[in-house]
Amino acid sequence: MENITSAIRIIPLEHYLFLCLALFSIGVIGVLFRRNTIVILMCIEMMLNSVNLLLAAFSSYRSDPSGQVFVFFIMVVAAAEVAVGLSILVMMKRNVDSIDINLLNKLKD
């Protein structure tokens, strides 16, 4: 236990920041890159998780439990978002028989 506790003393906070920003950027690239709606939903989950990890890192480095409570709330929101998003996806598959995101551009015109 003491070994694990000493870990955050060695690693600078910037490295956690770089990791989380890289994960977030990969999520953004995935949303722009793919046309499959289910992969886009997964990339959104990845972005939420990178923010969660950064909140937990700041909370540990500052010894402030509020950040970890926020992570808990973000998990709640993510679970609700996935439930609604996947039911939208099921409805989309039923109505247009495809999960191509480019078919959903009717609001544009």
Partner 1 sequence: MAFLFYLLSGIALLSALMVVLSKSPINSVIYLIVCFLSIAGHYILLNAQFLAVVHIIVYTGAIMVVFLFVIMLLNLNKTNEPHKSVLTKFMAVISGGMLFLVLIAAAKGVNEMIVAKEFDANIGLVANLGKVLYTDYMIPFEASSVLFLSAMIGAVMLGKKDKK
Footprint on residues 49-68 left by partner 1 (CB under 8 A): 49, 52-53, 56-57, 59-66, 68
Number of residues forming the site for partner 1 (CB under 8 A): 77
Q: Residue holding tokens 């996947």? A: 86
- Amino acid (1-letter code) at residue 74: I
Nearer to partner 1, 97 or 109 (CB): 97
Between 13 and 104, CB nearer to partner 1: 13
Interaction pattern, residues 11-30, with partner 1; x per rule: CB under 8 A:
xxxxx-xxx-xxxxxxxxxx
Q: Which is nearer to partner 1, 23 or 104 (CB)?
A: 23
